[in-house]
Structure 1
Amino acid sequence: MGIGLATVIPLGWGQWVAGFTDQSTDNAYLRADITPVSTQIGGLVRAVLVRDFERVHAGDILAEIDPAEYLAKVSRVRAAVSAAEAAIRNVDSRVQLQHRIIAQAQASIQATAADRDRAAAEHGRQKTLARDGWSTGQRLEEALAAIRRFEAQMIEKQAEVDAERQQLDVLGTQREQASAELASRRAELQLAEIELGYTKVIAPTDGVVNVSSVRAGQYVSAGTRVISVVPLPNVYVVANYKETQLGKVRVGQAVTIAVDMFPGERLAGRIEQISPASGSEFALLPADNATGNFTKVAQRIAVKIALTDVPEGLRQQLRPGMSVVSTIHTDTPAKL
């Protein structure tokens, strides 16, 4: 009989346990989404503005880093932005001046064209007079030379206008370069202002802080943890059930929770999530069972349980890390 029990019980134990209506485990603890608050810049801590275990609200200043260096950086970049804006205004003024120069050159062309027309008319008169014998060939040649001279001047002045218009293209390129420089300086200013804002370490959420990791006068670098914010009273339960207990467990089923700190108290909960893998799969060194020596061990799967009905006075006393015993009622319908 003893040999039979020693053989049958291990073989059927898992199925027997999986058939229980209520699945319990004491491998369960209260948890909370604790937020570590770290610095995003380096500098000397000027002040820590919260006491240990003090309640804070989102947006409260937890600590301050000396802003002198970052204020100077903002002032320097603002001056660079002003210089870049002045460079653009300078280019715009040169463009306006260039338009006036072009207009003046075009007016000069028109004046030369008028002189050419007058010379052409004189050439016509001299040609008629010379045919009738009233003018000399010399005057006719002078009138023709005047026409050619004014036409040459018009070509020269038109080339000047083309050169001045080409200068407009150069100024346009310079303005594009100045605009790019201004955009770069403005981006630097925005970054400098962001870094200046980082001198105030802000609470990201409501909750209670733990013991501060820094003190006034201490030098911190970017990424130094200053403090952590525990979002009390928003806690939940993470229960690690054996794989043999989860055959009938579904998201939404009711759970009864007993907190070790409060004997006799029973809290109501509901399964919110079931881990996608066992804890060993997330270990730093996952188990490798492809070896000659193998011992089968029941794996544990984390189950996240939300507290649904907790008296307010008791809720305020719950703390992450407390040990609990959770009991899943697999006969209750899953409520999503």
Structure 2
Amino acid sequence: MNGKGKKIGLIIVVVLILVFLIYAVRWINHRMKYAISDAVFVESEYLSNIGFYRVSGKIIQLYKKESDQVKAGEVIAKIDDTDYKLQVQALEKEIESLTYQKKQLENQLERVAKETDINESITALTVQELNKKLESLKAQKDQIEAQLKLAQKDEERYRNLLEKGLVSKRKYEEVKTNLEVLEKQKLAVEKNIAELKISIEKSKKAVEYAQTQKSITQEIQDQINSANSQIESLIKKKQDLENQLKYTELTAPFNGVVAKKFVSIGDVVKAGQPVYAILKSDSFYVKVLLEETKLEGVKVGNKAYIKLDAYPDKTFEGVVESIDVASAAKFALVPRDISAGEFTKLAQRIPVKIKIIKGDMSLLRVGLGGKVEIEKIR
């Protein structure tokens, strides 16, 4: 029995040694195939602090809390928009009033323009007609003056003949009467010409007045142009206020999850002040600080398997997306001073970025730690 017990004990020792050797071989083989590190952190490429654009005021609604999912364009917060609505209403009334004034001015311009054109046309025609009459009277005067010269000669000749007794007094009287008639006709024509000239001058004044009325129409047109400019300016101001009114609702810029809520209902916030911090849903990645001794065989595109401490039963798959060209220590806030030539040699860590391609993304949180195994390429 004693010899048999020794034999069994030997067998057990051999089996244990074989198990240990198998485990050791597998462990070594696994370490040769994979670069393993527990310096693992979940990070995000898109962590945005978002706030109200161009507007400020008291928060009256917060629709999301921390860890809530958000969709792009979804309203997640709102500030009191009463003041902005009142400003828009005031501008609408001002635009309406100016538009009414502009319409009145346009009606006035149309009426004055028509009256001015009609008056100018009438007075211009009147001046033309009077000038024609004046020319006719001048011709008539010239004709009378020619006849008058002949009548004056006849009167002088017949008066000499009467004195000599060669003609009768009755004949002389006829000649003299004809002269007097022509003189009266001349005076009448001259009077008509003088009156006509006065009428022409009045008509010319009327033409000038009609032309001055055109300056009034220009003044009205200037008022209309000014009203148009004011209306356009107010419309732009109203459009800007309407945009600000839209900005009183804060919307999510992308699909994601609320990482932090900075304010509470009732708080007064300024434009641009952070209200939420939002992580983009598809922006999570794993950052690994891989020892330089494990870097051999790790290439971009290699597969990686991640286990997070928070979810030990879950495995996430990924691929190496980038390998930094400098160690993490190079960018430390207090880098090592090696100028004295004395330092303790430490294994440097190279940041490796792993893109997650498989796993429950909703479980991921920035800052979670874990363990990674990266396939090596020999």
Deviation at 1:326, TM superposition (A): 5.2
Deviation at 1:144, TM superposition (A): 3.4
The answer (yes or no) to whether the contact 2:298–2:377 under 8 Å persists in 1 is no
Describe the SS at the equivalent of 2:243: helix
Give the 3-state SS of the residue equivalent to 2:208 in structure 1: helix
Could you tell me which of 87, 93, 96 is aligned with 1:73? Answer: 87
Letter in 2 for 1:42: S
1:180 is displaced (CA, Å) by 1.8
Of 104, 111, 127, the residue aligned with 2:118 is 104
Tell me: CA distance 1:282–1:122, structure 2 relative to 1, closer, same or farther (3 Å): farther
| Alpha-carbon RMSD | 3.9
Match of 1:321 among 334, 350, 367: 367
Q: What residue in structure 1 maps to residue 42 of structure 2? A: 30
Matches within 5 A, 1:105-254: 105-106=119-120, 107-133=122-148, 134=182, 136-232=185-281, 234-239=283-288, 253-254=301-302
Q: By how many angstroms is 1:202 displaced?
A: 2.0
Helix, strand or coil at the partner of 1:225: coil
Q: Cα 1:145–1:281, aligned 2, differ >3 Å: closer, same or farther?
A: farther
Mapped partners of 2:140, 2:325: distance in 1? 107
Identity level (%) = 19
Bigger drift between 204-213 and 61-70 goes to 204-213
How far, CA to CA, are the matches of 1:149 and 1:248 in structure 2? Answer: 116
Note the C-alpha offset of 1:184: 1.3
Give, in whole Å, the separation in 2 of the partners of 1:132 and 1:245.
139
Question: Normalization by structure 1: what TM-score?
Answer: 0.72
SS in 2 for 1:316: helix
2:72 counterpart SS class: coil
Q: Cα deviations across residues 7-31 of structure 1 (Å, max 9, x unaligned)?
A: xxxxxxxxxxxxx997666544222
Q: Which amino acid aligns with 1:318?
A: L
Higher mean C-alpha deviation, range 261-270 or range 44-53: 261-270
Residue 76 of structure 2 corresponds to residue 62 of structure 1: yes
- Cα 1:49–1:267 shift into 2, 3 Å: closer
Measured at CA, do residues 119 and 71 of structure 1 come closer, stay the same or move farther in structure 2, by a change above 3 Å? same
Structure 1 stretches lacking a partner, 5+ long: 1-19
Counterpart code for 2:71:
H
1:205 is displaced (CA, Å) by 2.3
Q: Which amino acid in the other structure matches residue 129 of structure 1?
A: I
Q: Displacement of 1:189 after TM fit?
A: 0.8
Can you list the C-alpha shifts for 1:195-239, whole angstroms capped at 9, x where unaligned? 222222222222222453322222222233222233335422344
CA 1:141–1:256 in 2, change beyond 3 Å: closer, same or farther? same
* 8 A contact 1:101–1:164 mirrored in 2: no
Q: Cα offset for 1:75?
A: 1.0
- Correspondences of 1:292-331 after superposition (within 5 Å): 303-308=352-357, 310-311=358-359, 314-325=360-371, 331=377
Q: Structure 2, unaligned stretches of length 5 or more?
A: 1-31, 149-181
Structure with the higher helix share, 1 or 2: 2
